[in-house]
C-alpha cells in the first residue's frame, strides 16, 4: 500500500494545485488576523463564526479543496490511462483505493486542518478548547468529503462539475433551508462536531445529536470507500 500512497501523494502535489490550495486556505487565516486586529481580545461573535468558519471554511474552502484533490486521485489516472499500472498488479482493490484515499486526505488535510487550526488559534486568542473543536471538525469534514469525492472521481469524468453542484446546492442551499437535509449534510456533521467539542461555538438548536453525527460520519466514510472499491472491481479500466 505504501507504493500507491506515495504515488498518490506525489501525483496530487503538483505545484499549481498546491499554490491554489495554499491561497484558498490562507483566506480564513487572513480573516482571523483581521478580526484580531480590529476586535482585540474579544471572543469571536456569531457573525464571525457564521462568515469565516461556517460559511467560508466549512461551506466553501474545505469541500472545494477536498473536491479538487480527492476527485483527481483516480480521475487523473483514468484520464492519462495509467490506472492500469495499479489494477494489473496482484493486490486486492481495497489496497489501491484505501491508500489513494489516505493520500488525498493527507494532501488536502495538511492545508485545511492547518488552516482551521491557525485561523481558530488567532481568532480565539489561543483558546485551545475552541481551537481543537474547530480543527477536529475540519478534519472530519476533510475525511468525509474526500471519501465522497474519491468515489465521484471514479464514477464520472465530470466529478468536478457534479461536485460543485453538490457543494453549492445541497450543502450550501438545501441543507441551510430544509432542516431534514442536515441529516445528510457533511457540513452539518462537521459543524456539530465543532459544537459538541466546544458548546460556546455554533450555538443553536439546529445541530444533530452525538449518535447521529458519529453514526452518519462513519457511515458516509465507509459507504463511499466501499463504493469506490466496488466500482474499481467492476469498471473497465482504460
Minimum Å distance from CB 226 to another protein? 15
Minimum Å distance from CB 9 to another protein? 12
Decide if residue 4 touches another protein (CB under 8 A): yes
Minimum Å distance from CB 17 to another protein? 13
Look at residues 232, 234, 233 and name the one whose alpha carbon lies nearest to residue 74. Answer: 232
- Asked if residue 90 lies in contact with residue 167, where contact means CB atoms within 8 angstroms, the answer is no
User: How crowded is residue 236: how many other Cβ atoms within 10 Å of its Cβ?
Assistant: 4
Task: Please give the residues from 11 up to 30 whose contact with another protein meets the rule CB under 8 A.
Answer: 11
Q: Could you give the dihedral angle defined by the CA atoms of residues 138, 195, 189 and 5, in that order, rounded to the nearest 10 degrees?
A: 20
Decide if residue 236 touches another protein (CB under 8 A): yes
> Which residue, 47 or 234, has its beta carbon nearer to another protein?
234
Contact region with another protein (CB under 8 A), list: 31-39, 79-87, 117-125, 187-195: 79-87
Half-sphere exposure of 172 (CA within 13 A, CB side): 17
- Asked if residue 229 lies in contact with residue 93, where contact means CB atoms within 8 angstroms, the answer is yes
Decide if residue 81 touches another protein (CB under 8 A): yes
Decide if residue 33 touches another protein (CB under 8 A): no
Q: Round to whole Å and give the CA distance between 209 and 183.
A: 10
Cell of 143: 475525511
Cell of 49: 463564526
> Which residue, 177 or 234, has its beta carbon nearer to another protein?
234
Decide if residue 203 touches another protein (CB under 8 A): no
> Which residue, 34 or 87, has its beta carbon nearer to another protein?
87
Contacts to another protein by CB under 8 A: 2-4, 6-7, 10-11, 80-82, 84-93, 233-234, 236-238
Amino acid at each position: 500500500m505504501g507504493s500507491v500512497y506515495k504515488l498518490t501523494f506525489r501525483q496530487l502535489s503538483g505545484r499549481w494545485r498546491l499554490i491554489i490550495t495554499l491561497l484558498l486556505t490562507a483566506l480564513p487565516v487572513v480573516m482571523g488576523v483581521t478580526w484580531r486586529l480590529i476586535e482585540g481580545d474579544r471572543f469571536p461573535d456569531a457573525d464571525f463564526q457564521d462568515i469565516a468558519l461556517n460559511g467560508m471554511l466549512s461551506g466553501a474552502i474545505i469541500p472545494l479543496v477536498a473536491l479538487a484533490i480527492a476527485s483527481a486521485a483516480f480521475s487523473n489516472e483514468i484520464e492519462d490511462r495509467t490506472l492500469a499500472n495499479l489494477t494489473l498488479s496482484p493486490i486486492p482493490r481495497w489496497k489501491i483505493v484505501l491508500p489513494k484515499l489516505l493520500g488525498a486526505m493527507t494532501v488536502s488535510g495538511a492545508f485545511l486542518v492547518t488552516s482551521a487550526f491557525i485561523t481558530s488559534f488567532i481568532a480565539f486568542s489561543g483558546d485551545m478548547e475552541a481551537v481543537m473543536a474547530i480543527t477536529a471538525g475540519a478534519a472530519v469534514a476533510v475525511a468525509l468529503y474526500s471519501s465522497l469525492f474519491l468515489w465521484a472521481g471514479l464514477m464520472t469524468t465530470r466529478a468536478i462539475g457534479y461536485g460543485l453542484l453538490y457543494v453549492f446546492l445541497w450543502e450550501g442551499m438545501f441543507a441551510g433551508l430544509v432542516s431534514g437535509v442536515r441529516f445528510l449534510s457533511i457540513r452539518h456533521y462537521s459543524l456539530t462536531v465543532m459544537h459538541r467539542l466546544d458548546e460556546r461555538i455554533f450555538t443553536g438548536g439546529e445541530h444533530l445529536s452525538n449518535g447521529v453525527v458519529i453514526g452518519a460520519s462513519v457511515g458516509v466514510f465507509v459507504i463511499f470507500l466501499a463504493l469506490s472499491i466496488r466500482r474499481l472491481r467492476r469498471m473497465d479500466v482504460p
